[in-house]
Amino acid sequence: IELVTDRATRTPYPPTERIGHQVTLEARRRGMLIRPLGHVVVLMPPLSVTTAELARMVTILRESIRTVTEAFS
């Protein structure tokens, strides 16, 4: 999931902001481990994931992204 400051231009956050790392820390506080690669967050659920687990993962990730990116707005 690419984290950008503007969807239309796909401008990434400055590297100094470490936005991907910040999102992963927020997700960890909420109980989920994800991997940052710069301004990209990698979500790799296991093949055995249930629909309910996947829905929870997406919710945590969405809330984490929202929390972190609103702090930069």
For 70: left if phi > 0, alpha if psi spans -120 to 50, otherwise beta; the answer is alpha
Token digits of residue 2: 């690419």
What pLDDT shows up at residue 66?
Answer: 96
At 71 the pLDDT is 85
Q: Which two tokens stand for residue 65?
A: 């992204």
Q: How far is Cα of residue 30 from the mean position of the Cα atoms in its chain?
A: 12
Instruction: Look up the pTM and report it.
Output: 0.90
With H, G, I as helix, E, B as strand and everything else as coil, classify residue 15.
Answer: helix
pLDDT at 72: 78
Q: Compute the distance between CA of residue 53 and CA of residue 6 in angstroms, rounded to an integer.
A: 30
Q: What is the pLDDT of residues 2-49, one digit of tens each?
A: 999 998 999 989 999 999 999 999 999 999 999 999 999 998 899 999
Please give the pLDDT value at position 5. 93
Q: Mean pLDDT throughout 52-70?
A: 96
